[in-house]
Amino acid sequence: MSSSKLSPRESGAYIVENAKHVRILPAGIEKLTQEIVKGLIEKRIAVENFSQHELHPNPNPNQPEDYSKAADWVFVLDTLNFCFWTPDNYTKYKVDGYTGYFALCAAIKRAIKEGVDVINPKFYSQIDLKTLENIFRSDDGETVIPLLQKRLESLHEVGKVLIDKYDGSFENVIKKAEKSAVRLLDLVVEEFPCFRDEAEFAGKRVSILKRAQILVGDVWSCYKGQGLGYFNDIDQITMFADYRIPQVLAHFGSLEYTSELMEFLKTDTILENGDPREVEIRGASIYIIEQVRDAVVKILKEQHPEISLDNVNSIVIDQYLWDYRRRHNADLEHIPFHKVLSIYY
């Protein structure tokens, strides 16, 4: 991370320090910490949860081609992992009954089954709009995946870089990072402009890097923190700031909006990417999860030495809270969330 730009963890702290529209509540952080500790003790929070999902790649170390292909699969998913809602209906886009991010996963898996070489940069660096539209065709045959043109541009951009500089494989980007999650994060942001999720805030350049971090986190999760997925500094990756996790943080009472912001969010107005209100909500989310992570680690060290800390980080906490939101959707739906049409999340 260049010295003039704050890392996501530093950005979270700086944004909270200068925030005008959000407040952090320690009691809610404590409540969230207890929820996470309980989940870890009961093994509901685990690195294995990622590859156990039927729509995710599950690499087999005994099949070298299959093993490295999973990295290319994850790379395509996270290049396209943004904006699945349409302003009038958040769950209108469906593939095989799945909504949101899992609709994307279902579409990519369907394409692979149909023999489309969708995770090969030679294919997707030159894909045309019609082919891409067909890959993402929805259950109702009418709803088009949001921001289709932007997805096309993103695939062309990243595919060309992989071919020109990395011999057409994301595995080579991972290897260049030499087992450092932070180095991989920096490489992704340097090499692939569509992952540069940054903003100007209170006179500084802050970085949120939702998709770049989730890419590093997904590689780690996909390979269960081993082999290609082993990083010696995985604890440096923060949560992935989107528009859904803040609902969970508000639900637990760790994040509070000013009454003005709350009223604004209820109007369903679409914000511009980089709006200070958006930056504050996302920065506060990073800050809260970092506080929770630190508190969880302290409790486990003191009270549960039998639990290994190797896989206790902001990634698994984020994955748990993201699943929590989907499981408790009815309870959380009354909490409004910010809306931005963006390629960054």
Q: Along the chain (345 residues), what's the average pLDDT of each consecutive run of 10 residues?
A: 80 98 98 96 83 81 83 97 82 89 95 96 98 96 94 98 98 98 97 97 96 96 93 94 93 97 92 94 97 97 92 92 90 90 89
Q: For the chain, first and last CA: distance in Å?
A: 20
Q: How far apart are CA 228 and CA 220, in angstroms?
A: 8
Residue 52, pLDDT score: 64
In a domain? residue 84? yes
In the block, tokens 């057409």 appear at 168
Angle between helix 26-41 and 314-327 (nearest 10)? 90
Number of H-type helices and E-type strands within the chain:
15, 8
Residue 2, pLDDT score: 46
In the block, tokens 């989730």 appear at 214
In the block, tokens 């994301």 appear at 170
Q: How far apart are CA 303 and CA 329, in angstroms?
A: 32
Residue 258, pLDDT score: 97
In a domain? residue 82? yes
Residue 30, pLDDT score: 98
Q: What is the domain extent for residue 219? A: 8-333
In a domain? residue 35? yes
In a domain? residue 342? no
Residue 277, pLDDT score: 96
Instruction: Quote the DSSP letter at residue 269.
Output: P
Written as six digits, the tokens of 205 are: 């350049």
> Residue 174 carries which side chain, given as an amino acid letter?
I
In a domain? residue 299? yes
> What is the H or E stretch that residue 145 is in?
none
Active site residue 140: no
Rounded to the nearest angstrom, the gap between the alpha carbon of residue 230 and the centroid of all alpha carbons in its chain is 19
In a domain? residue 34? yes
In a domain? residue 252? yes
Q: HSE-up of 64 (CA within 13 Å, CB side)? A: 0
Angle between helix 64-79 and 210-222 (nearest 10)? 160
Residue 87, pLDDT score: 76
Q: How far apart are CA 170 and CA 231, in angstroms?
A: 16
Q: Count the domains in the chain.
A: 1
> Residue 3 carries which side chain, given as an amino acid letter?
S
State pTM to two decimals. Answer: 0.91
Pick left, alpha or beta for residue 83 (phi over 0 → left; psi -120 to 50 → alpha; otherwise beta).
Answer: left
Q: Which of 72, 78, 197, 242 is catalytic?
A: 242
In a domain? residue 2? no
